Every structure is written in C-alpha cells, then in structure tokens.
Structure 1
Amino acid sequence: MRALLVVNPAATTTSARTRDVLIHALASEMKLEAVTTEYRGHARDLGRQAAESDDIDLVVALGGDGTVNEVVNGLLHAGPDPEHLPGLAVVPGGSTNVFARALDLPNHPVEATGALLDALREGRERTVGLGLTSGTPGTDDESVPPRWFTFNAGLGFDAGVVGRVEQHRERGRKSTHALYMRQVVRQLIGEPHRLRGVITLEQPGEEPVGDLALSIVSNTSPWTFLGNRPIYASPKASFDTGLDIFGLKRLSASALARYGTQLLTSSPERGPRGGHVTARHDLTQFTLHSKVPLPLQMDGDHLGLRTSVTFTGVRRALRVIV
C-alpha cells in the first residue's frame, strides 16, 4: 500500500514530535510520502493530486477539521467514486476534531495512529455520506463553485461566530473553547436579525419555512463538542442518511437561554425542541435563501457572504478507514 500523509503544521495540537511519531509508525506498515502544507488550500491540492494518481491508495490527514475538509474536496474534485478513489484516514490535530470524533476515533493523535494501524491490518473501513453545497440557479450566487462538507454547515449566526474566531486566529490567538464562547456572545450582541430572521428554507414538495434567525445543517451527530461534551443540534443526523437541518426563528435573550440550555443538555435521543424550532431529517436537497447577505461556514471554515445556498446530501460518497 502507498499512502500520502498531509500534515498541517498550524493545527492547534499538531507538533513536530507528533508528526515524526506518526511518520515512523505509518512508514513501518506502508510506502509513505509525507507533505507539510504551506498555504491555505494546499491540502485540497494534495488531495486532488492523490485522486488523479494511479498508485496512491490512502490519504492520511493530520490536522483539524479544516485540513480534513480540504483533503476531501481535493479527493472529490471530480465527484464521488468510493470504489476507485483513495481512501481517507484521519489523525486529529485540531482543537475540536468533530469529524474524527463522530467516527468514534480517539481524540489523541498517538492513540488515533494506533487505531488507524489496527484498522488497516484488519481491513476496517466504512463508506460515509457527505454534504455538498452549490450556488442556486437564478440567484447572484449561481456561479459559486460546489464544495463538500463532512459534518456540518451553517448560514448566518454560527458562521458569523466562526468568522470572528478566524479573525482572532489570524492575529495569533490560539483556538480555544473559551474563545468560541466569547465570540458567541459578541455575535449575539451585534446580530441585527436576532428577533426576526431573514432566512427561508425551501425544499421540493414542501411549503417554505421563513423568518429563520439561525440555520445549522448537519451531516452527522453530534453537531460539535464543547470540550468533551457532545452537542446535539440534530440527534438523528447520520453519515448513513441525508442531511438534517435545525433552525430557530428567534434569538432573543429568553429564547437563547431556553434553547442554549437545551443544546448543552442534549443527547443522542433528545435535541432542542419548542415553538421557535424548525427541524428536518434525512433531506436529499434543499435551499436556504436570505433577504440579505449572510456568512456561510462549512466544517468550521468561514467562506464569505451568501444570499442563497443549495444543499445536497450525497450518500456513500467516500471510503474512510476506521
């Protein structure tokens, strides 16, 4: 087996020692090429090169969720083909590592490396579904290129929080859960549409749902983690089904207290509920429209402003070593 190891040296918990241990362990089992990313989008370029290669069987991503997202978009640049494309393995090196943890992988890079080697020896893998976004025909965002996401996406409030965190990271701040929580509060204070939302959910054959102030799209569950606590916005979401969406029509202080508490106490059996909640499960395709440009995030990566985004759930899109 020949493998490509993609290392993001800027990931929160990735170190030179971790990289060296991983390289040594993997090289003992396979023919390995290790490449350290040098710019934003480099992991995507490496994933594409691997997809177009005739002799790479596996791509291993060492980094956070953003690194995994880039590798996946590179691997699937021409569309999903699980039987012929290289498989994906993940060694978590970020601050949250939602994709890896949703696959029940260890959250420590050395332990995850051991689990990866065991999976390779035993031939353990699964084919997971992914989310795909694209520009909506007939809108200003029609020409926006498609992009894959592995665990979640959001238009509006949560994407604004992600954007604020990225600004702090660009100034040299370390990504921590405390930083995220502070930006949640600041985003809420500055949110102009928190009492009456501007987002409309449209899906084929259904009446539109308007006035959403928050929209979170999930490809798996949990939605994210707060430290070691999993947060379930859409508990039924799964890599084996289509996409789920969780929306809120109000972000007032009382609504935030109620639904924020429900999120913090959520479980695989019970997510947020109430009169302001919109929840849909196992959707193949739908569109989110906004009356004003809103931030979009996918897998924790801020992607700028959009007024309309079409989401597609693609089942059995990628082989993952687990």
Structure 2
Amino acid sequence: MRALLVVNTFATQTSIELSELIAAALQSRVDLTVVNTEAPGDATTVAKEFTDARSGNSNHSDNEVIIALGGDGTSNEIANGILSAPMDSTQNTLPILAALPGGNANVYSRNLGFHRDAIKATAQLLRAIDSMNVRTMDVGLVSTPTHDRYFLFNAGYGLDAAVVARMQEYRASRNRVSDARYLATALQVLANGRERTHPHIQINEYEQRVHFAIVTNMSPWTYLGKRAIDPAPRSTGSDGLSVIASTSMSIKNVARLSREFIRSADVANNPDAITLSHQNEVRCQSDRPEWLQIDGEALEQVTSVQIRQSKAALRVLTCV
C-alpha cells in the first residue's frame, strides 16, 4: 500500500522527532512518503496533488491512504484536498483518510477510536491498516458567498465560532494552546454583555433568534482533557446533521448549558435551547456578520451560511 504522511510540525503536540518515530513505524507496513507543511492550506494542496495523480493513474491501488499528523485543522485540510477531485470521480478512486493526534483536542482522530497519545494511536493505525478497517462516512459542507468547505465533525456559527477565532489569533502568535486557555477565552467572549443580551441568528424557519448554532456531523462535539463533551449524542456521521442552539445567554442558562455539555447530557429538554437532529440541510442568517468555524478553525465572518451533509463522501480508517 502507498501512503502519504502529512505532518503539521506547528501543531500543539507534534514535533520533528515524533514524526520521525511514527514514520519509521509506518514504513514497516506501507510505501511511505512524508511531507511537512509550512503554512495554512499546504495540507489541502498536498492532498489534492496526491488525489489528482492517483485519479490519472489507471494502475493505482484502491487502498492508498493519506495520513494526517497534526490537529483537527490538518485532517480537515486533507479531507478538502481529497474531496476537491472532479465530480465524476468514483468514491473508490479517492484516497483513504487516516488521522493521528498531534494537536490539542484531536477530536476527529479520537472520534474514530484512536488513542489521544500519538504513539499508541500509531499502533492502532497499523492494526487498522492490516485489517483494512475502512468506514465510508458522511461529511458536512458549508457554503457562503465566498467559500465552499467540507467539515468532518462540526461547524459553528456565532459565539462558538467567535471563541475559535480568538484562539486562532492566540495560536498565530506561536502561543501554545490548552483546554484552560479555551475556557478562559470562552469566558472573555461571554463577558461581553451585548453578546449575552442580543441574539442575532435565525436558523431555518424558526422565528426565535439564537446566539450560536453548533452543527455536528458526528459526536462527541469536542473533548475537555479525557472527558468527551457530547451534547448531540445522536450524531453518528451517517444519519444527518444535529443542531444545538441557545436562545438565551443569561447567567442561569450559561450555567445550565455548561453543566449539560460537561455531563454530555442531551440539551433537548432545555427550554432555552433549540435542538434538531437528522437534518440534511441547515440555513443560518444574521442581521450582522458572525464568525463561522469548521472543525475548530475559524473561516470567516458572514451574514448567512448554508450547511449540508454530503452522503458517503469519504473513506476513513478507523479502529472502532
């Protein structure tokens, strides 16, 4: 099997030394090429070139794989590179995606059953390669006036995405991120009284405005250390999108939502929340620009976004 290992050495828990250890282990099973990314978007370009070369080669194997070593943003970029193939490409002509943890939360790789330690996850990946434990999964697609981007596990519009945008600025200064930093940033955003009192976002045909909309393609939504944060347990990656939105950001409801999120309790019984499941399409619009994020990466500020699910779009190596 031919494999491409795409390494983001700027990710929180990734280093040249770690990537060399993992590459040595992978070379025992696959014909491996290693590429280190230098800037945002590089992983998409590399994955697209690999996919295009594969599509033009009639002798390719059906089981070539692109392995992400980095954070969720690296996996997202590779998925977008794979899925940028011409529309007439059959699914089996596209490479398989694998994700190893190298960032902070590593939501996607952990959702696929891999350990949060990169070395232990590599051992799991080798077993998945040996058994060809491949699952065909749905992905999400966000469309704005300027972007069409796929996402793997979640998208957010509003306050959730504003926190991600703040964290992205923090990472851009070469600061190391952590769960504690995320929580501190979330509190800073929530401290803005205007944000708490004036919801601006409309979801589908609902008349009541909300402060944020979290759209999940698979669960858990994220992780806090070892703890899974799973407010939308119905998201499986194969049965439609789930939506969680809040109509109130009062101190009382923020405290309730925090408890529900941390306990992975279904928020459907919260009177100040809107929850939807098994959605093929979600439309959000606002009377002012709001931040949009996908898979933990801030994309842009927009006044409207359409979010859809693309069925059976991507083959993925899993250990579950």
**TM-score tier after normalising by the smaller chain length:** over 0.9
How far is 1:2 from its partner? 1.0
Are 2:110 and 1:110 aligned?
no
For residues 96-136 of structure 1, the C-alpha deviation after alignment (integer angstroms, 9 at most, x for no partner) is 0001111111111111111111111112110111100112x
Matches within 5 A, 1:1-322: 1-54=1-54, 55=60, 57-78=64-85, 81-135=90-144, 142=145, 144-190=146-192, 192-202=194-204, 207-267=205-265, 270-271=266-267, 273-322=269-318
Say which SS state the counterpart of residue 316 (structure 1) adopts: strand
Contact 2:44–2:78 (8 Å) recurs in 1:
yes
How far is 1:208 from its partner? 2.7
Task: Label 1:23 to 1:191 Cα distance change in 2 as closer, same or farther (>3 A).
Answer: farther
Cross-structure match for 2:57: none
For residues 181-236 of structure 1, the C-alpha deviation after alignment (integer angstroms, 9 at most, x for no partner) is 0001100012523223111111xxxx434311121010111111111111112111
How far is 1:255 from its partner? 1.1
Task: Label 1:73 to 1:191 Cα distance change in 2 as closer, same or farther (>3 A).
Answer: farther
Say which SS state the counterpart of residue 269 (structure 2) adopts: coil
Contact 1:263–1:272 (8 Å) recurs in 2:
no
How far is 1:147 from its partner? 0.2
Matched residues in 1 for 2:173 and 2:42: separation?
21
Matched residues in 2 for 1:272 and 1:167: separation?
33
Contact 1:88–1:319 (8 Å) recurs in 2:
yes
Q: Which runs of 5+ in 1 are unaligned?
A: 136-141
Say which SS state the counterpart of residue 245 (structure 2) adopts: strand
Task: Label 1:297 to 1:86 Cα distance change in 2 as closer, same or farther (>3 A).
Answer: same
For residues 151-191 of structure 1, the C-alpha deviation after alignment (integer angstroms, 9 at most, x for no partner) is 11101101110111111112222110010000011000125
Q: TM-score, structure 2 length as denominator?
A: 0.93
AA in 2 matched with 1:313:
Q
Task: Label 1:149 to 1:209 Cα distance change in 2 as closer, same or farther (>3 A).
Answer: farther
Matched residues in 2 for 1:145 and 1:98: separation?
23
Matched residues in 2 for 1:233 and 1:253: separation?
19
Q: Which runs of 5+ in 2 are unaligned?
A: 55-59
Matched residues in 2 for 1:161 and 1:217: separation?
16
AA in 1 matched with 2:51:
A
Contact 2:268–2:274 (8 Å) recurs in 1:
no
| Structure 1 segments (4+ residues) deviating >4 Å | none
Count matched residues. Answer: 309
Q: Root-mean-square deviation (CA), in Å?
A: 1.4
Matched residues in 1 for 2:92 and 2:154: separation?
25
How far is 1:304 from its partner? 1.8
